[in-house]
Amino acid sequence: MTVILISALAFAATVLGGVFALRVRDRLHLILGFSAGAVIGVALFDLLPESVALANGYYDPARLTLFVAAGFFAYLVIDRLILIHPQAHEEHAHDHAPQRGAAGALTLAAHSFLDGVAIGAGFQASPAVGAIVAAAVITHDFSDGINTVAFILKSGGRLKQALPFLLLDAIAPVLGAATTLLVRIPQSAIGLVLGVFAGCFIYLGASDLIPESQHAHPRAATTIMTLLGAGVLCLAVRLWGG
């Protein structure tokens, strides 16, 4: 039940991100910069050390590293060949077909579902790991809400057309977390699963959020926010991660 309650915060963060996108657009790069640091921080300071500790006695470091790499490159394939990005969508802004906006919003919802799975997997490892992963996901889902609304509005849609997609994106992490209550990960495999998500989070932060935060904006401010995001997560891991 705790997993569902925590994932409900991701729901709220996504909705708030969508509302924020409708009101303030000139400071989004700072939010995205902080989100990038938080996501990378949770991978480096929490998921990787925890996966090493949990895999100890079951798998050697070389095997674990393969799963981290698998998560990184699997997300690369999904990101490059399947997901639709706001930047790519903006380049074709003259094409106002509603299908383009809907497709972009749906890919974000699918990604948010995996965010929920990551929260559930984290809580199966330990409450402390789950809380840290949830913090990073909640921070990131705020930017997902922003991008969901942006997709629909850039494709010529109106607010009333954006709201259903925003709600779908918001409920997706709750559904993803709920699936982990139905399927228990074997204790021997939890370390590997966390390693996969560590690879995914590293790719997401380094190859998606950081470039997006620095797109057409001053790099000094966004870089400071990225370092701040990583620092906050590092501090949180030390305080709450044991």
Do 213 and 144 form a contact (C-beta atoms < 8 A)?
Answer: no
Lowest average pLDDT, out of 156-160, 217-221, 233-237, goes to 156-160
Query: Quick one: pLDDT at residue 17?
Result: 78
- Structure confidence by residue, pLDDT tens digits, 189-219: 888 998 998 998 898 888 877 887 777 667 7
Q: Give the chain's domain count.
A: 1
**Pick from 6, 221, 12: nearest CA to 119:** 6
Lowest average pLDDT, out of 46-55, 159-168, 224-233, goes to 159-168
- The three-state secondary structure class of 14 is helix
Q: What's the rounded Cα separation, in Å, for the pair 2 and 216? A: 40
pLDDT at 183 over 90: no
Q: What's the rounded Cα separation, in Å, for the pair 3 and 8? A: 9
Query: Quick one: pLDDT at residue 157?
Result: 66
Cα-based distances in Å from 83 to 38, 87, 107, 144, 184 = 22, 12, 6, 13, 28
Contacts of 114 (CB under 8 A, 6+ apart): 176, 200
Do 130 and 242 form a contact (C-beta atoms < 8 A)?
Answer: no
Q: How many CB atoms lie within 10 A of CB 95?
A: 12
Mean pLDDT in the chain?
A: 79
Sign of CA dihedral 60, 240, 40, 80: positive
Q: What's the rounded Cα separation, in Å, for the pair 165 and 15? A: 10
- As a whole number, mean pLDDT of residues 227-235 equals 87
Q: What's the rounded Cα separation, in Å, for the pair 24 and 32? A: 13
Question: pLDDT > 70: what percent of the chain?
Answer: 78
Per the structure, the complete domain to which residue 75 belongs is given by 2-240
Six token digits for residue 204: 């997401």
Residue that is written with structure tokens 């620092």 in the block: 231
